[in-house]
Amino acid sequence: MPDPLNCRELVELVTDYLEDAMPPAERARVEAHIATCDGCDAYLIQMRETIVALGTLPADPLSREAEDELRTAFRDWQAGQAPQP
């Protein structure tokens, strides 16, 4: 039997759990933990509610400059470079 999950591990795995992007055995560990931990069960409910709420917000278009800055920052991050001010 795999080791039980602790709360910190659940927080790290919650995105994969909600996106159904984890192996069945890992999913079972998450579900076993939330079945016995009221705090993590509440956290999971809050995360689901946040996702639903954010999905209803209209998208604000970015300015061309802001979009370019974000792309540059992301490329620099991928390349391991420090962001440029």
At 4-25, the pLDDT tens digits run: 899 999 999 999 999 999 999 9
Predicted local distance difference test score (pLDDT) of residue 46: 95
Number of compact structural domains in the chain: 1
User: Mean per-residue pLDDT for 54-68?
Assistant: 84
Query: Over the chain, what is the mean pLDDT?
Result: 88
**pLDDT (mean) for 61-65:** 87
Q: Does residue 35 sit within a domain?
A: yes
Q: Is residue 85 part of a domain?
A: no
CATH, residue 40: 1.10.10
pLDDT for 58 equals 80
- Rounded distance between C-alpha atoms, residue 59 and residue 11, angstroms: 27
Q: Under a CB-based contact definition with an 8 Å cutoff, are residues 7 and 41 in contact?
A: no
What is the domain extent for residue 51? 7-78
Does residue 1 belong to any structural domain of this protein?
A: no
Task: Decide if 2 is inside a domain.
Answer: no
Q: Is the dihedral of CA 21, 23, 27, 30 positive or negative?
A: negative
**Could you tell me which residues come within 8 angstroms of residue 7 by beta carbon, excluding any fewer than 6 positions away?**
33, 37, 39, 40
25: in domain = yes
19 part of a folded domain: yes
Predicted structure pTM score: 0.63
